[in-house]
Amino acid sequence: MKRRDFLKTAAAGGAAAAALAAPAIAQDKRQWKMVTAWPKNLPGPGVAAQNLADRITALSGGRIEVKLYAAGEIVPGNGVFDAVAEGTAELYHAVPAYWGSKSKGILLFGSQPFGLRADEQVGWLAHGGGQALYDEMYGRFGLKPFLCGNSGPQWFGWFRGEINSADDLRGLRYRTTGLASEMAAKLGMAVQAMGGRDMFQALQSGALDAGEFIGPWSDSALGYHQIVKNYYWPGVGEPSSAEECAVNAKVYEELPDDLKAAVSLACESLYNPVWTEYTTKHAQALSQLVASEGVQVKKLPDEVIVALGNAAGEVITELREDSDELVRRITESFLAYRAAIVSYMPYADNGQMNARVLDYKY
């Protein structure tokens, strides 16, 4: 065959091969809908959700295209768990603290009153057996779960009046979520669950006396400081609050191994960037709230913290005695990891933090 004829034949063959390959490549692309519990681009969780959608798309090489739908665009924020379980969407971004009606055991994977910090939460899942229990619990609902961020320590919240004793909490209409709501209820607070924007409207109308959402960065964006000025810490109800991604289990299992790894890595690799962004911007926002908005930062009296701790202990005891054997196993696993960490931290992080605030020149 002459060289010129060979090149023509090769070119034709190459074009045919490309034509055959193109549909195969196109067929390997997936378009996923991510539903979220947040308003679009809400500082904190709304931003983190979009970052996760973008990261899955990037790490999959575009073979999974994730489009984000904010709360209310396809389903309400409190409907994302069911939407993904039922296959209406492929994945969601929310927090475990919203799913207590599914199982009380789920709540421990997000935050625990007087429980784990953001780094410790990952430690429990990665090194203390927590992830297997997380998978087992969510598997009941046809979901594959991943932690993908954390807000760090939350605040006890915004209060119209001052808190001087545990009696001052009794009867207050208070917004919170998860196990923190059960702790608060044991001290006589009238707990109400609602989204961040609804909390603003309820504070404004007088339907709420107090409430907590996340922390200074997200809270200032929602404008709570425009209504109430007393901002209380520490948020012992949520020493950290993990954000999660859950994927429809059938959809996830149908992925090839490399795309499963891309989804997992996208979630895992976003945890620290989300956490450290919260920490940085919380600090910046708090300075602004105090300097320019007249916010009064106040510490809960030790008497109140102890009362809350005792109430939290009652909540944990109830979980240890739950009728669901899996809930009991999750609780015991959490408590074992917490005990180990609590015994170590006085020498480690607590020691460093206490040393850092002493009066010396630096």
Q: Per-residue pLDDT tens for 145-166?
A: 999 999 999 999 999 999 999 9
Residues 219 and 284: beta-carbon distance below 8 Å: no
Note whether residue 121 is domain-resident.
yes
Q: Is 332 annotated as a binding residue?
A: no
Inter-CA distances, 187 with 101, 182, 183, 306, 317, Å: 21, 9, 7, 11, 16
Confidence of residue 12 (pLDDT cuts 50, 70, 90): very low
Residue 162 lies inside a defined structural domain of this protein = no
Residue 107 corresponds to which tokens in the numbers above? 């709540």
pLDDT score, position 146? 98
pLDDT on residue 26: 52
Residue 212 marked as a ligand binder: yes
Q: Is residue 6's pLDDT more than 70?
A: no
64, 263 Cβ separation under 8 angstroms? yes
How many other C-beta atoms are found inside a 10 Å radius of the C-beta of residue 142? 17
**pLDDT tens digits for range 218-259:** 999 999 999 999 999 999 999 999 999 999 999 999 999 999
Average pLDDT over residues 197-216: 97
Q: What is the pLDDT of residue 23?
A: 37
Q: Is 136 annotated as a binding residue?
A: no
Cα radius of gyration (the chain):
24
User: Rounded to an integer, what distance in angstroms lies between the CA atom of residue 48 and that of residue 93?
Assistant: 9
Q: Model confidence at 13, in pLDDT bands (50, 70, 90)?
A: very low
Is position 247 within any domain?
yes
Residue 348 and residue 345: Cα distance in Å, rounded?
5
Task: Please give the Cα distance from 103 to 36 (Å, whole number).
Answer: 20
| Residue 84 resides in a domain | yes
User: Cis (ω within 30 of 0) for the bond into 239?
Assistant: no
Look up the CATH number of the domain holding residue 256: 3.40.190.170
* Nearest residue to 181 via CA among 322, 308, 320: 308
Query: How many structural domains comprise the chain?
Result: 1
Specify if 268 maps to a domain: yes
Does residue 1 register a pLDDT over 70?
no
Q: What is the pLDDT of residue 361?
A: 96
Percent of the chain residues topping a pLDDT of 70: 93
Residue 215 has pLDDT above 80, yes or no: yes
Ligand-binding site membership of 175 (annotated): yes
User: Residues 287-304: pLDDT tens digits?
Assistant: 999 999 999 999 999 999
Average pLDDT over residues 260-271: 98
The HSE-up count of residue 51 (CA atoms within 13 Å, CB side) is 22
| Structural domain includes residue 234 | no
**Between 24 and 132, residue with greater pLDDT:** 132
Looking at per-residue confidence, does 11 or 179 come out higher?
179
What's the pLDDT score for residue 28? 86
> Is residue 6 in some structural domain?
no
In angstroms, the Cα distances linking 189 to 163, 211, 243, 354 are: 13, 11, 26, 32
pLDDT attached to residue 27: 67
| Pairing label, strands 91-94, 242-248 | antiparallel
E strands, 167-320, in order: 173-175, 190-192, 210-211, 230-233, 242-248, 296-299
- Is 238 annotated as a binding-site member? yes
Query: pLDDT tens-digit profile of 328-340?
Result: 999 999 999 999 9
Of the candidates 71, 226, 106, which has an alpha carbon nearest to the alpha carbon of residue 178?
106
What is the average pLDDT value for the chain, to the nearest integer?
A: 93
**Higher model confidence: residue 222 or residue 22?**
222
Does 57 map to a domain? yes
* Domain around 114: 29-150+240-280
